Amino acid sequence: MEDCIFCKIIDGELPSENVFENDTIIAFKDINPQATHHLLIVPKKHISTINDLNENEGDDALVGKMTLVAKNLAREINLSGYKLQFNVGKSAGQVVFHIHMHLLSKG
């Protein structure tokens, strides 16, 4: 998407503090952290909201991969507990309309 901040990060047009990247997912530190550890796990495929997921296009597997990336990052950071969160839609606090999972932990 032309005006999508996350697509621009994925394409290298905007800087980010990346902590993980493979062929389908990128993870980076949130620029406005809401916890001691606040990472964003973002698929490289542009999907606006969770409501736009399409299991016929493999999106269900993609969300599973995002969850595994979050688990592995939490283990690397040595977090004893953490929260995974999707905001779906503007009324639920979604600001960037490119699905992303928040990994949050106080320590």
Give tens-digit pLDDT for 77-99: 999 999 999 999 999 999 999 99
60 token code pair: 């269900």
Q: Of the residues 37, 38, 100, 102, which is catalytic?
A: 100
d(CA 78, CA 74): 6
- Domain range spanning residue 13? 5-105
Domain count, the chain: 1
Q: Look up the pTM and report it.
A: 0.95
Task: Give the per-residue pLDDT at 86.
Answer: 98
Q: CA 79 → CA 34, 36, 71, 88, distances in Å?
A: 16, 11, 10, 25
Residue 37 appears among annotated catalytic residues: no
CATH assignment at residue 30 = 3.30.428.10
